Copies of this chain bind each other. A is one copy, B any other.
Amino acid sequence: LPPLPDGYHIRKICSDDYGRGALEVLKALTTVGEITNKEFEHTIETWARHPEIYHTLVILDLSETVVAIGSVIVESKLIHHCGKVGHIEDIAVRPNQQGKKLGCTLIRHLIKIAGSLDCYKVILDCDPANEMFYAKCGLSKAGTEMQFRF
């Protein structure tokens, strides 16, 4: 696994990461909205009720501020001999922390979790503009993402 800058560390998300700026980081990716501390805790608790499925990591800097966040959702299937697939989701790096390879380091940790849980593959969807970034992290182009918006 690639090393983190001195003093940075990576660990599972916890409810207190609300106060450490976890949601600000996600705002670099997409719409987050106004989420209260209680709503944040509720989602962390939902994830904790399914510990085999939801795995969210955060990277913190020296000041204990969240600088990167990302998840892998482990799905149990019938195909591939009742195989499992890891879905990498909601990868975001704090804008002023880019260029430190935090995104790739996070992805490698999430892939490691999926591998240790016996996934036969890990997939993610991204903007075509980010294909190069994910290719540098070791992923390759697989298919097309289609969506239906409510």
A142 to B39 alpha-carbon distance, docked (Å) = 28
Query: For residues 86 through 100 of chain A, which have their beta carbon under 8 Å from a beta carbon of chain B?
Result: 87, 89-90
Rounded to whole angstroms, the CA-CA distance of A144 and B145 in the bound complex is 5
B147, A140: Cβ atoms under 8 Å?
yes
Tell me the nearest residue of chain B to A34, going by C-beta.
B81
The 6 lowest CB-CB distance pairs between A and B, nearest first, are A33-B81, A142-B147, A139-B146, A143-B145, A142-B145, A122-B148
**Residues of A with Cβ closer than 8 Å to B?**
22-23, 26, 29-35, 39-40, 42-43, 46-47, 50, 53-54, 73, 75-82, 87, 89-90, 111, 114-115, 119-128, 131, 134-135, 138-150
